[in-house]
Structure 1
């Protein structure tokens, strides 16, 4: 197997970025009105393999993060150093919905991630939809890029895993790689374009993209 860092030195990540369709919209969660971001990408892998990569506690750390807890319907899970939540719906190998909690859970679900898989002529089309009530000050500062760049990185990680690449470097080492830093810059800009396509003012988009880029690719 080829090492991920070795592959990053040769891989053109703009191809991975362009492989994702992004959309920004308004929606609902049980707690009320929500912001929605949607990502769609097709992988050259069988649907059962993609499903297993997304739901196996043994495979998730290879491309995303170590996970603990119960990944079955109704179970509570936690990703190391990141979000946790509850598995609300699960329809193998086509669809699951989980709560996505960055802090203590509220009385009603305010952040949900839904993943849908579909056969696509031997490949698998993945659609990830994150519906969340976002604090107004956070949305005003970052727009959809605050979470969108992170999900772009997750879909990139899944692509490298399905391609057989091994993740031997630490997450910090991967984040500091020049190719990943450029990927994050381009991802922030791509989410800005999706936000503007959804009706956001160009000046607002420019400010959001700048703030998101500074967050994911800090200077100095």
Structure 2
């Protein structure tokens, strides 16, 4: 059985800047971790509809470069780049909101796979979110990706996992709280927030997943 809470330290997290494909300044969240699985297996899990449904969400659409996808109950967008088994870039939009971009990069690492996931948003989206909600909104986005990558770990490990119900379990909520705390430290270091501001942001983001 995987101790997911202890998996928090297996992920590197950082905030930075990014150049968006359409031009303009962007802000980004980056997650980096290694999986004990071959690159081809991780790529298949991240791009095959049948496998995506088992750890993230059912996906539909014209699943090819230039096509559009829709995750059930989640984001949708266009597929910008798909180079197996190393690079996938898509736009990522919730409803009618302005599109952000998600890039997935895979590379061999020893006997496993190094996964890097970068979520870049136009600077005005992030800045407005911070004005409205403080850094807690950014922490919540990072926490959401942590939960998704935990689901990928469960899937690759052969564990029984239902993404539609797992996030309501005590295990997932404990994981989300630890994730938000980890992102809180990243935000505090990057933006110079005080301890009280960081604690409030973590509480806000954790409540989003409870």
TM-score by length of 2: 0.90
Q: Given that residues 56 and 163 in structure 2 are in contact (C-alpha distance below 8 angstroms), is that contact kept between their aligned partners in structure 1?
A: no
In structure 2, the partner of 1:175 is 167
Q: Given that residues 27 and 126 in structure 2 are in contact (C-alpha distance below 8 angstroms), is that contact kept between their aligned partners in structure 1?
A: no
> Does residue 1:204 correspond to 2:197, yes or no?
yes
In structure 1, the partner of 2:62 is 70
Residue 126 (structure 1) shift = 0.1
In 2, distance between residues paired with 1:153 and 1:212? 13
Unmatched segments (≥5 aa) in structure 2: none
Deviations along 1:133-176, one digit per CA (max 9) or x if unpaired, are 22534224224212111100110000000001132x462x3222
In 2, distance between residues paired with 1:122 and 1:51? 15
In structure 2, the partner of 1:145 is 139
The structure whose RCO (Cα within 8 Å, separation 6+) is larger is 1
In structure 2, the partner of 1:23 is 14
Residue 62 (structure 1) shift = 0.5
In 1, distance between residues paired with 2:3 and 2:113? 22
Residue 12 (structure 1) shift = 2.1
> Does residue 1:130 correspond to 2:122, yes or no?
no
In 1, distance between residues paired with 2:191 and 2:149? 25
Measured on the aligned residues, the alpha-carbon RMSD in Å equals 1.7
Name segments (4+ residues, structure 1) moved above 4 Å. Answer: none
More helix by share: 2
Residue 71 (structure 1) shift = 1.9
Pick closer, same or farther for the CA change 1:46–1:77 going to 2, 3 Å. Answer: same
Pick closer, same or farther for the CA change 1:135–1:121 going to 2, 3 Å. Answer: closer
Pick closer, same or farther for the CA change 1:95–1:209 going to 2, 3 Å. Answer: same
Deviations along 1:24-58, one digit per CA (max 9) or x if unpaired, are 11233225222200000100000000000000011
